Structure 1
Amino acid sequence: MSDQSQDLALDLSGIEKTYNKGKPSEVMVLRGATLSVKPGEVVALVAPSGAGKSTLLHIAGLLDTPDTGQVRLNGRDMNGLSDKARTEVRRADVGFIYQFHHLLPEFSALENIVIPQLANGADEATAKARAMDLLTRVGVGPRADHRPAALSGGEQQRVAFCRAMANAPRLLLADEPTGNLDPATSDQVFAALMDLVRATGLAALIATHNMELAARMDRIVRLDQGRVA
C-alpha cells in the first residue's frame, strides 16, 4: 500500500458493477471507475441521470459492493469485510445525505441527531450537546424541539446534514442534497453545508446536477459511461 493511499479518505480503484448479471436485462453501470478524495477536500460528482452516480456513492459508503475493484476508506481496505464490520465502519466513519431528508417524523430535530450518536455508543448528555452545537451552526438551533413536519424544507435538509455529521464521520457522501429545494433555499442550504464541512475538515463527495453549486467545490469529476473523468 502506498503512502498516498494511506492519506486518502476515499480511494476507489477499478470499480465495476453490473445489475441483473447474466440476464437479458443485464446493465453494466460502472466500468472501471477510479476516484479518490483527500481529507478536507470537497469534490463535486456530476453525471446525467442513470449514469451510476448513486451506485458509486453506495459502493463508496459500503451500502453496496462492487463486482470487481478496490474500496479503501482512510487507507483501510474494505474488500472482504464481514457485513457486521462494514456496518461498524459505515456508522463511525461515513455520513450520508440524500435528496429527501428521511428524518424520523415522530422525533424532534434534536432527537433525530441524538439517536445515531446513542446507537454509536455516546452518552445522552454528550449526544444532546453535540446535536445542539450542530443545529446552531446551521442556523436551526431555535427550532431544535420542533418535529420535521413543523420545519420548512430548507430547515429539514439542514437537520439532515447535522444528522449525517452526528458521529463526526471522516467522509461525507451526498446525493443531490439540495435537489428538491427552490433555487434560493438551495443556495442557502448549500452554503450551510459547506460551512459545516469546512469547519470539520472532513472529505466530501457531493453528487449534483447543479453546475453552479459544483463550481463552488474544490474539484469537479464527471461520471460518463461508467468511468470517472
Structure 2
Amino acid sequence: MSEAVLRLSGLEKSYNRGKPNEVRVLRGVELALVPGEIVALVAPSGAGKSTLLHMAGLLDVPDAGTVEIGGREMGGLGDRARTAVRRREVGFVYQFHHLLPEFTALENITLPQLADGATERAAQARARELLSRVGLEARADHRPAALSGGEQQRVAFCRALANGPRILLADEPTGNLDPATADRLFDVLMELVADEGLSALIATHNLELAARMSRVLRLDGGALHPQA
C-alpha cells in the first residue's frame, strides 16, 4: 500500500475555547490520502469543511492531533518552514478565484513560481503549458475582469498547480458556477489532477461530481465517515 502523502490524525479544533459559547468543529478527524487519490469531502454548510482544509493545508493549526505531509509531521515547524512546505507541496483552489486583478492570467500563474525561486523564463513556460492544457492559451494576456467565471477558475486551477505540488486542496471549486460550466470545469480539474499525478481533497456540495471521485467522505459531528 502506498505511503500517505497527507495524513491527519486525531485533529481537534474549537472556536471560543474555554468560553460558554465554545464550538467544537473537528473532533478527532482521521484521514490518509494516498498518491493519485481524489477524495470528495461533503458536509452541510457550517460543518467545518473549510476548517478541515485549512488544517490540512497548514493555513491554521489544530488544537490537538497531527498533520503529516509526505511522512513528515508538521506540528513542530515554525511559520517560515510551514510557508515553504505549503508553497511547494500544497495547491489551493477556492470557490472564488482570488486572482490578482491587476495582473494577466499568465502573470497570476507566474508569480507563485517566482516567489519560490524559479526564473522568469521557466515560470512563464510552465504557466503557458498549464494554460494550454486548460484551453486558455489564447487568453494568457487577459486580466481576470476580461475572463468569464469558468475561465477565471481555470486560471485559478493553473495557479494552484504552478509549483508542482503533491497535494491539491479545493474548497467548493465549482460552487460559484452554473451547472453546465461546473461540470465542464470539473472535467478539466480531474484531467489536471491525473496528468500531474496529484492527490486531491475536494470539498463539494455537488453529490453527482463527488460520486465521480475515488471515494466520498462525509464530515459529520466533527469526524469523517465514508459516505453511504
Query: Within 2, Cα distance between the matches of 1:227 and 1:81?
Result: 25
Residue 74 of structure 2 is aligned to residue 78 of structure 1? yes
From 186, 193, 205, the counterpart of 2:189: 193
SS for the counterpart of 1:12 is strand
Counterpart for residue 10 of structure 2:
14
**Which residue of structure 1 lines up, in the alignment, with residue 213 of structure 2?**
217
SS of match in other structure, 1:11: strand
The aligned residue for residue 180 of structure 1 is 176
In 2: Cα distance, 1:13 partner to 1:24 partner:
27
**1:157 corresponding residue in structure 2:** 153
Aligned residue pairs total: 225
Please state whether the residue corresponding to 1:24 is helix, strand or coil: coil
Offset of residue 125 of structure 1: 0.4
TM-score by length of 1: 0.97
C-alpha distance in structure 1 between counterparts of 2:196 and 2:110, whole Å? 18
Normalization by structure 2: what TM-score? 0.97
* Cα separation, 1, equivalents of 2:70 and 2:47: 26
Is residue 208 of structure 1 aligned with residue 218 of structure 2?
no
- Structure 2 counterpart SS, 1:35: strand
Distance 1:133 1:26 in 2: 47
1:5-56 per-residue CA deviation (whole Å, 9 max, x = no partner) reads x811110011000111011221000000101111111000011111111000
Supply the AA of the counterpart residue of 1:10.
L
Aligned equivalent of 1:116: 112
Q: 1:139 aligns with which of 124, 135, 138?
A: 135
**CA–CA separation in structure 2 for the residues paired with 1:24 and 1:166:** 44
Specify the SS of the correspondent of 2:25.
strand
Match of 1:45 in 2: 41
Q: Deviation per CA, 1:52-85: give whole Å up to 9, x if none.
A: 1100000000000011111100111101111111
The residue aligned with 2:95 is: 99
Cα distance in 2 for partners of 1:142, 1:192 equals 17
Give the drift of 1:141: 0.9
2:161 counterpart letter in structure 1: M
Shift of 1:126: 0.3
Poorly superposed stretches of 4+, deviation over 6 Å: none
Taking the aligned partners of 1:106 and 1:79, their CA distance within structure 2 comes to 36
Question: What percentage of residue pairs aligned between the two structures are identical?
Answer: 70
Counterpart of 1:68?
64
**Alignment root-mean-square deviation, CA:** 0.8
Distance 2:65 2:170 in 1: 22
Give the distance between the partners of 2:45 and 2:132, measured in 1 at CA: 34
- Structure 2: segments with no counterpart, 5+ residues: none
Hey, what's the Cα distance between the residues in 1 that align with 2:136 and 2:177?
17
Distance (Å, rounded) in 1 between the aligned partners of 2:66 and 2:43: 22
Gaps of 5+ in 1: none
